[in-house]
Amino acid sequence: MREQVLAIIEKNSRINIKELAVILGAEEIDIANELKAMEEEGIICGYHTMIDWEKTSIEKVTALIEVRITPQRGQGYDKIAERIYKYPEVNSVYLISGGYDLLVTLEGKSLKSVSNFVSDKLSTLEGVLSTATHFILKKYKDHGTILTKKYEDTREKVTP
Amino acid sequence: MRNPLSDTIVGIKPSGIRKFFDIVSEMDDAISLGVGEPDFDTPWHIRDEGIYSLEKGRTFYTSNAGLKELKEEIVKYIQRTQEITYDAGHEVIVTVGGSEAIDIALRAMINPGEEVLIPQPSYVSYEPCAILAGAVPVIIELKEENEFRLTAKELLNAITDKTKVLILPFPNNPTGAIMEREDLEKIAEIIREKDIFVISDEIYAELTYKNKHVSIASLPGMQERCVLINGFSKAYAMTGWRLGYACAPRKIMEQMLKIHQFAIMCAPTTSQYAAVEALKNGDDDVAMMRESYNQRRRFLMHEFKEMGLACFEPYGAFYVFPCIREFGMTSEEFANRLLKEEKVAVVPGTAFGDCGEGFLRISYAYSLENLKVALDKIKAFIARLREEK
């Protein structure tokens, strides 16, 4: 049941327990217990909302930053990653295989605030060898959802 | 001027669903639960393969029976799902939808005056196709108390010495009924004993919500008297690609192929390339869609229960078939009023045979959000009807 619950709430975290129970053919109490258990185990880490900020009047700039670092003895990459992810403006930090080490996504109010963060905070961290900053110009799809167009039902209204 | 028309076709009633379609399509803001096709888009990797085949210039006829590679994939699919083996070279044909397969199977097997057994409620084309093939259609009226399954007794009662073919439409449109192995075993015995043939329309085979679908062709001694029909429309959400197929013993297939050859030539080439991809890499998509339909099915059954609307639990296709007899209206009256008063379109059960009277076909090939809105309206409508009484 876990897998099914997760598949549904990953797409729709607003669905309530009663509805979940109906569509999965399960008891409400079992669903509630399962959700609680998964929250406690840290499998469910939060219930966020996907927002297309582009469509609001609020200015936001998102950047992807490639960071090359020197791993530290005994702590590998974790120590530097921690120093980076503790900044609240940092959205995500991933350890990556390939040409660089950490992929950091960052959200700021303006290009300037993002570049300030990179030059003042990020690139001056001990162990950071270099950074490459990419600003996101347009989001086509995010979290599996296509942002550019809405679903439209173009089927004939009645068919055999 | 002489009458330019054939008496046979003039004598066939136009599809009952068409009439309703005309009314609904004039209402822009109607919410429809009347659609007999998936709401999902064809999975992208399948569409991509179609596009790719066009880019590569594969725009010619294929061989009459279909692309070799596709026929081989079909054989593999039936082998892995039903554990029956067909010869891709002589026993498989790719058709323009399952519908063409129904037509050519009947025409290949029927001599004038022979009887074809058609369980109803069922898909709208069996009876007209049987008549066009020169058969005498004999309707078997399925009963709600049997969950709209075909029973041995019903079959036995309908068989005469003129009976040639039984059409077996399960999982069923419009009822959502399925036939499980035990049900099939009971009728298979009669079929063998009475020496008749089966056209098994299994277009909804992938959409079952209890056990996996069992084909009657997989039962002992049945493959040799069975035309198995399936296709890509429902399982892979590929209705517009118009692609189905049939598997049958070589003797029958040779004659089906002749009709197909002269009438159709070959199924659309682009669709055939896309279908190869569907069978090779589409299992996950099918599983995802099946799970989604199942969730909606449970939601509808739950809502009907809350409303106190009688409905047997269907385990196949994407339809529910609730009973509306308590309101003392015909299916058509009910559907018309529901459309006028709440702007929700459902299809009267009578569109699928006279014995569909007292029932509605409600499709759940819609998102849960849509279904919720529509069901709230149906709930309000029913409450009003009960007050009127």
B238 to chain A, minimum CA–CA distance in Å? 12
Q: What is the mean pLDDT of each run of 10 residues along chain A (160 residues)?
A: 94 95 97 97 95 92 95 85 95 95 95 94 94 94 87 89
The β-bridge partners of B361 are: B347
Report how far apart the first and last C-alpha atoms of chain B are (Å, whole number): 55
pLDDT of res. B157? 98
pLDDT score recorded for residue A120: 95
- Nearest CB among A7, A19, A159 relative to B37 is that of A159
pLDDT digits 0-9 by tens, B317-337: 999 999 999 999 999 999 999
> Is the distance from CB of B252 to CB of B200 less than 8 angstroms?
no
Chain CA centroid to CA A132, Å: 20
Domains in chain B with CATH codes: 7-42+284-388 (3.90.1150.10), 44-281 (3.40.640.10)
Chain A residue with minimum CA distance to B295: A23
Q: Report the complex ipTM.
A: 0.88
DSSP state of B323: B
| Nearest chain B alpha carbon to A18 | B299
Mean pLDDT of B296-319: 97
B219-276 residue pLDDT tens: 999 999 999 999 999 999 999 999 999 999 999 999 999 999 999 999 999 999 999 9
Domain A53-142, what fold?
Alpha-Beta Plaits (3.30.70)
Q: How far apart are CA B186 and CA B188, in angstroms?
A: 6
- Residue A71: the pLDDT is 83
Q: Residue A150 has what pLDDT?
A: 80
pLDDT of residue A8: 96
| 3 state SS of A89 | coil
In angstroms, the CA A23 to CA B375 distance is: 15
Residues B363, B319 contacting (CB under 8 angstroms): yes
pLDDT at B26: 86
Search chain A and give the residue with CA nearest B292: A23
In angstroms, the separation between the Cα of residue A72 and the nearest Cα of chain B is: 43
Mean pLDDT, chain B, integer: 97
Q: Quick count: other Cβ atoms within 10 Å of Cβ B66?
A: 23
The pLDDT of B86-108, averaged and rounded, is 98
User: What is the predicted pLDDT for the residue at A151?
Assistant: 80
Q: What is d(CA B16, CA A159) in angstroms, rounded to the nearest whole number?
A: 11
Q: Taking CB atoms and an 8 Å cutoff, what residues of chain B touch A1?
A: none
Q: pLDDT, tens digit, for every residue of B107-146?
A: 999 999 999 999 999 999 999 999 999 999 999 999 999 9
Dihedral sign of CA atoms B117, B122, B123, B128 in order: positive
- Which among B34, B295, B368 has CB closest to A157? B34
With an 8 Å Cβ cutoff, are B298 and A153 in contact? no
pLDDT at residue number B17: 83
Output phi, psi for B123, to 5 deg: -50, 150
Report DSSP state, residue B145.
G
Instruction: State how far the Cα of B366 lies from the Cα of B293, in Å rounded to an integer.
Output: 9
pLDDT digits (tens, 9 = 90+) for B205-220: 999 999 999 999 999 9
Tokens of B203: 């277009």
Q: Which residues of chain A lie closer than 8 angstroms to B345, CB-CB?
A: 157-158
How would you class A140 by CB atoms within 10 Å of its CB: exposed for 0-12, middle for 13-18, buried for 19 or more?
Answer: exposed
* pLDDT value, residue A138: 92
What is the pLDDT at residue B138?
Answer: 98
pLDDT digits (tens, 9 = 90+) for B71-84: 999 999 999 999 99
This prediction's pTM: 0.94
Set of chain B residues whose Cβ sits within 8 Å of the Cβ of A23: 295-296, 298-299, 368
Q: Say what the pLDDT of residue A56 is.
A: 94
pLDDT value at residue B211: 95
Taking 90 as the threshold, does the pLDDT of residue B14 lie above it? no
Say how far residue B20 (Cα) sits from the centre of its chain.
19
> Which segment of A141-145, B174-178, B222-226, B283-287 scores lowest on mean pLDDT?
A141-145
